[in-house]
Amino acid sequence: MSNTAGTSAGAAGLRGVVAASSSIGDVNGEQGILIYQGYNIHDLAEHSTFEETVYLLWNGRLPNQQELTDLEQRLRENYEVPAEVLELMRTFPKDADPMDVLRTAVSSLDFYDKAGHKTDRESAMAAAIKLTGQIGTIVAAWDRIRKGNDVVTPDKNLSIAENFLYMLRGERAEADEVRIFDVALILHADHELNASTFTTRVVSGTLAGMYGAVTAGIAALAGPLHGGANTNVMKMLIEIGDPSKIDAWVDQALAEKRKIMGIGHAVYKTEDPRATWLRKFARQMADKKGESKWFEMSQRIEQLMLERKGMYPNVDFYSASTYYLMGIPLDLYTPIFAVSRISGWTGHILEQYANNKLIRPRAEYIGQRDLKYVPIGER
Ligand code: COA
């Protein structure tokens, strides 16, 4: 864009630029408040389920019992992925990154949904239900395939959270772990115009289908600046190894200007409200497993970062040791983020389709002008 054609977005990375209207979620960074469709995340984490939250995000209100039962049933009918997609996954290299596997598998689901490119509310909702039902099956199936184990058939009697843990482990999870996992899914469901959600809106704004938009969202989530921090928190704790080494490790990291994973946030300037719940779950899992070292280490890092930098933990900080003590492989933490965020992505895509305008900003042109073409032999 030339200087005369409009106003510059100004901030690098579009920080502070309002790029869409949405009723789905809102983040108040100063006060540490996250709401979905008007409901405080703490209220939902206390009382709701992931399926009910999905209904809320997609429909703008909480369901009555019949509506919730109907949605649960439709999601469960769609837990299974086409056999062809599982076959395709079996051909992938066993050391493939699970996020790359998820992106490719989700993209291929498009072949098996004949209405998958339609953007009317009913068709797009049907695709959203399929994707939300199937995405956990893909993540769990990949972990089984790469380890040479049989893929576990999803159980239609189980919730998304319980079914995921069942398909991953091959046995039913205990109720307390199911509830922790269900609330973790609620906490990760939406976060306004984060990079992957914005991506899904840009793609769906061209009236491309739901599967393409979600595939692009997965690609964006996979980047280390977005979805990868939870795995890095656990790698950091493992690298430090012992609570007695924390202080020296943090001092050195800060002296070398390295970032401590899971600390700080682009929007929250106080505690991330999702971290409040995950701290509680990390402690609960530590007590349950009789392995308190990871929680103690996390708490000490939190305390030091508050004292030294005035910084708080974000959603990724305590989810790391919570998932670790649930026996979940480190490289599945980001795919699990997608198992939850599919609800926010599809909600935003539905909202985009309902009131669509192609998203086509301008670039501030900083190149040269009026250059004359010079034949190649004269350059
Ligand atoms: N550890 C140590 N210092 C940190 C830090 C961290 N995790 N996060 C920010 N800082 C410091 C920066 O080094 C910078 O210090 P300086 O002013 O002395 O140079 C200052 O705080 C501002 O950092 P900046 O990266 O500009 O802040 P931001 O608000 O744009 O960044 C994050 C937000 C999330 C990208 C950043 O905090 C981060 O990288 N955190 C770790 C990764 C992570 O957990 N990501 C998941 C986010 S949900």
Give me the tens of pLDDT residue by residue for the chain, a chain 379 residues long.
544 444 555 578 888 889 999 999 999 999 999 999 999 999 999 999 999 999 999 999 999 999 999 999 999 999 999 999 999 999 999 999 999 999 999 999 999 999 999 999 999 999 999 999 999 999 999 999 999 999 999 999 999 999 999 999 999 999 999 999 999 999 999 999 999 999 999 999 999 999 999 999 999 999 888 888 899 999 999 999 999 999 999 999 999 999 999 999 988 999 999 999 999 999 999 999 999 999 999 999 999 999 999 999 999 999 999 999 999 999 999 999 999 999 999 999 999 999 999 999 999 999 999 999 999 999 9
Q: What pLDDT is recorded for position 7?
A: 52
Contact call for residues 164 and 143 (beta carbons, < 8 A): no
Distance (Å) from CA 249 to ligand 1 centroid: 17
Minimum CA distance residue for ligand 1 atom 39: 259
Q: Is the CB of 260 under 6 A from ligand 1?
A: yes
DSSP state of 153: P
Give the residues across from 33 on adjacent strands: 28
Q: Check if 265 is active-site.
A: yes
Indicate if ligand 1 lies below 6 Å from the C-beta of 15. no
Containing 26, the helix (H) or strand (E) segment is strand 25-28
Q: Which atom of ligand 1 is nearest to the CA of 267?
A: 29
∠ CA 259-263-265 to the nearest 5 degrees? 100
Task: Tell me the C-alpha distance between 368 and 374, whole Å.
Answer: 15
Q: How far is the CA of 297 from the centre of ligand 1 (A)?
A: 20
The CA-CA-CA angle for residues 231, 236, 237, to 5°, reads: 100
pTM for this model (two decimals): 0.95
CA nearest ligand 1 atom 32, residue: 265
Structure tokens at 140: 């769990």
* pLDDT recorded at residue 3: 46
Is 316 in the active site? yes
Q: Whole-angstrom Cα distance, residue 204 to residue 350?
A: 9
**Is the CB of 263 within 6 Å of ligand 1?**
yes
Residue 334: the pLDDT is 96
Tell me which of 196, 263, 271, 307 to substitute to probe ligand 1's pocket, judged by most ligand atoms within 8 Å of the beta carbon: 263
Check if 221 has its Cβ closer than 6 Å to any atom of ligand 1. Answer: no
Q: Which of 258, 259, 261, 268 to mutate to test the pocket of ligand 1 (most atoms within 8 A of CB)?
A: 259
Token pair listed for 258? 């390295």
Structure confidence at residue 10 (pLDDT): 56
